[in-house]
Amino acid sequence: MAQKLSVRLAADPASSVPLLQRAERFAVLGESLREAVAGEALFELIADGELVGAFTLGVRETASGRQIHCGAAGGRPGFDLVGTMTRFAEHEAQRIGAGQLVTHTKRRGLVRRLEREGYRVAGFILTKETA
């Protein structure tokens, strides 16, 4: 049986940063972790009193409405981090009237998992090195 995770606002952000740093190598535009999560709230995923994951959420106002953005997420293997994070983000979106949840990733496996959670690929980002 899967272990139940709880979500809380980060009590000690310094303890959550190492979990988030795992996501930095998957940054879509090569931004630093600090750039990716600027202005976002940091949340912790807890299992039996132990910190097992962390993620950030921020609110963005766009021409098409309010969005909740996940700038970074990371954690230890063996826990349903994605399912717990998406359910929490959906609850927050409903609470504040946000019409969309948004995240960026290079991880194909994460894309497939998020599609099973109801996400869809909304576009592509193309880059070319010039130097």
Which tens digit of pLDDT belongs to each residue from 13-64? 888 888 888 877 777 777 777 787 888 999 999 999 999 999 999 999 999 9
pLDDT at 1 over 60: no
Rounded Cα distance between 124 and 4, Å, is: 34
For residues 102-117, average pLDDT: 91
* Structural domain contains residue 123: no
* Structural domain contains residue 53: yes
pLDDT on residue 4: 85
pLDDT on residue 87: 94
* Structural domain contains residue 121: no
Q: How many domains are there within the chain?
A: 1
Rounded Cα distance between 49 and 120, Å, is: 33
Parent domain of 107: 6-116
For residues 91-100, average pLDDT: 96
CA 56 from centre of chain? 6
CATH of the domain at 35: 3.40.630.30
Name the residue among 40, 101, 51 with its Cα closest to residue 75: 51
Question: pTM for this structure?
Answer: 0.87
* Structural domain contains residue 128: no
